[in-house]
Homo-oligomer: A and B are copies of this chain.
Amino acid sequence: MINSRICEILGIKYPVFQGGMAWISDGKLAAAVSNAGGLGIISAMYGDVDHLKQEIDICRSLTDKPFGVNLMLMSPIAEEAAQVIADKKVPVVTTGAGLSTKYMKLWGEAGVKVIPVVAAVAFAKMAERAGACAVIAEGSESGGHIGETSTMALVPQVCDAVKIPVIAAGGIADGRGMAAAFMLGAEGIQMGTRFLSAEECSVHETYKDMVLKASDVSTVTTGRRFGGNTCRCLKNTFSREFLKKEYASDATPESVAEMGVGALRKAAIEGDTAEGCFLAGQIAGMVKQRQKAGEIVNEVVSQAEALLKGAEKWVK
């Protein structure tokens, strides 16, 4: 059975995280992944903190396995959500878009294990120094807000820089990606896009259909021009209009920032193909069918195990 330090640290069976996707990853999806032996993760970016409390309770009612909450530290509700995570003694928190140093004491005292999502070596080092038990090195092929460096280039550089376990995220859709991540030095993987097609995923059916129909060149990045806000989503009317306005001569950082407001909710909840922003990673083209979340975990793990066991066949 595939196994690494992160399994011991978190008390999970398989080193497979389900990414915390804003407006998408709820208690039901997280519980399904955790019940299958992975680490299900609820997104705190899904309404207000009352909603977060509710999803944590739903998750706990559906599984007795460890699960996590993903918190974007730049969110207006970050402070409140951080307190909820501590109060509810959530087993694991993954953090994005900032440094979690501020909450390390609060979470440490509550027994919450902290795993920051990092897109560069310097942030991985800072996370380790601050007491994180692992880091998620997220490549720029991921969906949503991304850094600049790809998984293939980022993971080995992060592994060389820290001693804590590194979880690879971005560009991973199946057991091939998982086995590759281990060869790069990672001890686990996180997948977001692949779980969009899960039966337990409550995202709008139109969203699922768009992912299932995607190819290798179906995503695009917005928010590059003025820096610091690059975001990967599926090509559609919204992203085409966004890019047209972003690169127009009269665009300003403010006008670009305004365009994104509410677009993610419109995609995830309403399935609005014209005005919704459908976040997805470059592996959307590899998602081919609706499946139970547990089936996804088992399929990915079995394929990775077979590949790793058989890897020596290449060395004759």
Contact = CB atoms under 8 A, between A and B. Distances in A.
Interface of A: 1-4, 120-122, 139-141, 148-154, 156-158, 160, 170-174, 176-177, 179-185, 215-217, 219-220, 224-225, 247, 249-250, 281-283, 285-286, 305, 307-309, 311-312, 314-316
What is the total number of copies of this protein in its complex?
2
Contacts of A180: 152, 180-181, 183-184
B148 A217 contact: yes
Given A139-B150, A153-B216, 8 more contacts: A1-B315, A121-B216, A157-B283, A157-B285, A224-B224, A249-B249, A305-B315, A308-B314
Given A150-B150, A150-B152, A307 B121 contact: no
A177 B157 contact: no
Contacts of A3: 314-316
Contacts of A282: 148-150, 153-154
Nearest to A247: B225
Given A216-B120, A308-B312, A156 B184 contact: no
A311 B179 contact: yes
A4 B309 contact: no
A237 to B, nearest CB: 18
B314 A182 contact: yes
B153 A141 contact: yes
Given A2-B314, A148-B217, A156 B140 contact: no
A157 B309 contact: no
Nearest to A147: B217
A179 B140 CA distance: 21
Contacts of A247: 225
Name, among A174, A176, A305, A314, the residue most crowded by chain B CB atoms within 10 Å (CB to CB).
A314
30 contacts: A121-B215, A121-B216, A141-B150, A141-B152, A148-B219, A149-B282, A151-B171, A152-B180, A153-B281, A153-B282, A153-B285, A156-B177, A157-B216, A176-B184, A176-B185, A179-B311, A180-B181, A180-B183, A180-B184, A183-B183, A183-B308, A225-B225, A225-B247, A249-B249, A305-B315, A307-B311, A308-B311, A308-B315, A311-B311, A311-B312
